Amino acid sequence: TAGITQAPTSQILAAGRSMTLRCTQDMRHNAMYWYRQDLGLGLRLIHYSNTAGTTGKGEVPDGYSVSRANTDDFPLTLASAVPSQTSVYFCASSDGTSGSGANVLTFGAGSRLTVL
């Protein structure tokens, strides 16, 4: 089934440890995004990438880094996790980087991360 695969599904991590959340899409979408979802705050954009080789900061980028070496993969790294990074993380992609069309987001199933 075409779509976005996120891994791991859930993880418990000790504070101070590093962690990489993986995201792979098979739709050849140009744009990819990482969001975190917290109760009462909705989805907040962490980082995004309009095309392979480029990345940009979203609303809450501190403590996170991303890379986009190819079209399909967009990993999110927490270099030194803190409890405030406990959240559900969603990877998403969209077809276009231009302004035309709806450019609807396709989401992965999410990764639940708990930092203790």
Partner 1 sequence: AQKITQTQPGMFVQEKEAVTLDCTYDTSDQSYGLFWYKQPSSGEMIFLIYQGSYDEQNATEGRYSLNFQKARKSANLVISASQLGDSAMYFCAMRPTQNTGGFKTIFGAGTRLFVKA
Tokens representing residue 28 in the block: 């050849």
Tokens representing residue 61 in the block: 């980028």
Specify the residue, 18 or 44, whose C-beta has the smaller distance to partner 1: 44
Residue 110 in contact with partner 1, rule: CB under 8 A: yes
Specify the residue, 14 or 39, whose C-beta has the smaller distance to partner 1: 39
CB of 81 to partner 1, least distance (A): 22
CA dist., res. 55 & res. 8, Å (int): 22
CA dist., res. 19 & res. 88, Å (int): 14
Specify the residue, 62 or 99, whose C-beta has the smaller distance to partner 1: 99
> Which residues within the stretch 27-56 sit at the binding site for partner 1 (CB under 8 A)?
31, 33, 35, 40-45, 48, 50, 56
Tokens representing residue 2 in the block: 């075409």
Stretch that binds partner 1, among 11-19, 20-28, 61-69, 101-109 (CB under 8 A): 101-109
- Give the DSSP letter of residue 52: T
Q: How many residues bind partner 1 (CB under 8 A)?
A: 30
- What is residue 35's three-state secondary structure? strand
Q: Contact with partner 1 (CB under 8 A): which of 82, 97, 114, 116?
A: 97
Specify the residue, 8 or 56, whose C-beta has the smaller distance to partner 1: 56
